Amino acid sequence: MAELDALDLALLTALRENPRAGVLQLSRITRVARATVQARLDRMEQSGVITGYGPDVDVAAAGFGVLAFVTLEITQGALDRVREDLAAIPGVLEAHAITGSGDVLCAVAATSNADLQQTLLRIDNSPSVARSTSAIALSTVIRRRDLPLLTSRPATRASRSPAFR
């Protein structure tokens, strides 16, 4: 998908504000025909802009109140093996290959510092992990968000739809 236009952004905003809204409700919110809304959502799904509609879960509220960021230095060419090892550890929320002093950055959640220590030991147990460094998050300053980024770029005009202005 090349660019998001004003209607795409309006639909994404409406979905963020009303995550359980159906196509009919979204068409009412954006004042666009239901078929247009469905076509736009389908296009954004197929292009990978919309990746899911599942609930956003606050793992801290679910009992996993310790969050840490772990930087891994891995052995040369071991990214696929590390991916498999990390995927087998439930406390690893996400992992990204990075540039800089480390090779992989992980977000890890745990119920306590002792639970975090056990998760870190499991990570370090991977034969592909040469070294790890962790930092415990004290608080969240800004939660993961996407709309400010998407709306920061001037949107192209929506293709003609009489009800959308």
The number of domains in the chain is 2
Instruction: Determine the pLDDT at residue 1.
Output: 53
CA distances (Å), origin 96, targets 33, 78, 125: 39, 14, 19
Residue 158 lies in a domain: no
> Quick one: residue 100, left, alpha or beta (phi over 0 = left, psi -120 to 50 = alpha)?
left
User: Is the same domain home to 85 and 126?
Assistant: yes
Instruction: Determine the pLDDT at residue 155.
Output: 61
Residue 120 lies in a domain: yes
- Phi and psi, residue 72, nearest 5°: -110, 140
Burial 31-67 (b: 16+ CB within 10 A, else e): ebeeebbeebbeebeeeeebeeeeeeeebeeeebebb
Beta bridge partners of 136: 68
Q: Which of the 8 DSSP states describes residue 156?
A: B
User: Is the same domain home to 76 and 46?
Assistant: no
Q: pLDDT means per 10 residues in the chain (165 residues)? A: 86 94 96 96 95 91 97 96 98 97 97 98 97 97 92 70 51
User: Is the same domain home to 36 and 94?
Assistant: no
Cβ atoms 32, 98 nearer than 8 A: no
CATH code of the domain containing 31: 1.10.10.10
User: Is the same domain home to 33 and 77?
Assistant: no
User: Is the same domain home to 25 and 79?
Assistant: no
Instruction: Determine the pLDDT at residue 160.
Output: 52
164's tokens: 């959308």
- Domain of 42? 6-55
Q: How many CA atoms lie within 13 A of 161 on its CB side?
A: 21
Cβ atoms 43, 102 nearer than 8 A: no
Instruction: Determine the pLDDT at residue 30.
Output: 96
Instruction: Determine the pLDDT at residue 157.
Output: 65
109's tokens: 């959640």
